[in-house]
């Protein structure tokens, strides 16, 4: 992967350690879930937000869902269960980056690089 050097990977020993780190850094946990109250494209992302996805088969444990500062969903056609978790994550992260102006202006305006 040619972008791996740009990724910041941090492993936590437990959910409690992860939650404590977020709280200590005053970062919001944003959960992507089929049970979300807010559509991701209508949600105002903020710097420092941590976007979490669960397992495709089971989502996240109830205590994790309860700890989220926001629970987002992707609009689906009636009868559709959900999208692949990697695709869903890419959509939501892309929207967060767009809102936070992480893309160069040339890309936003559709100009070639």
Residue 68: which domain range?
27-102
Residue 73 lies in a domain: yes
Residue 77 has pLDDT above 90, yes or no: no
Residue 111 has pLDDT above 70, yes or no: no
**Mean pLDDT taken over the chain:** 88
How many C-beta neighbours within 10 Å does residue 30 have? 22
Domain count, the chain: 1
For residues 69 and 38, the answer to whether their CB atoms sit within 8 Å is: no
104: pLDDT confidence band, cut at 50, 70 and 90? low
Residue 91 has pLDDT above 50, yes or no: yes
The percent of residues in the chain predicted with pLDDT above 90, rounded, is 63
Paired strand residues for 39: 73
How many C-beta neighbours within 10 Å does residue 67 have? 17
CA distances from 7 to 10, 35, 45, 50, 66 (A): 10, 29, 20, 14, 27
Residue 6 has pLDDT above 90, yes or no: no
Residue 22 lies in a domain: no
Residue 110 has pLDDT above 70, yes or no: no
Choose between 100 and 82: higher pLDDT. 100
pTM tops 0.85? no
CATH of the domain at 73: 3.40.1280.10
Residue 107 lies in a domain: no
Q: How many residues does the chain have?
A: 113
Rg (CA), the chain: 15
CA distances from 21 to 9, 15, 24, 29, 54 (A): 14, 10, 5, 11, 19
Residue 45 lies in a domain: yes
CA distances from 86 to 24, 49, 53, 105 (A): 28, 18, 9, 26
């Amino acid at each position: 992967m040619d972008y791996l050097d740009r990724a910041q990977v941090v492993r936590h020993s437990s959910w409690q350690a992860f939650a404590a780190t977020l709280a200590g850094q005053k970062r919001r946990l944003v959960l992507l879930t089929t049970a979300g109250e807010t559509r991701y494209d209508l949600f105002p992302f903020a710097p420092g937000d941590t976007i979490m996805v669960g397992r495709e088969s089971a989502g996240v444990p109830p205590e994790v869902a309860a700890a989220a500062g926001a629970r987002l969903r992707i609009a689906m056609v009636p009868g559709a269960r959900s999208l692949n978790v990697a695709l869903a994550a890419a959509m939501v992260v892309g929207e967060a980056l767009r809102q936070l102006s992480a893309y160069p202006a040339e890309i936003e305006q559709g100009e070639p690089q």
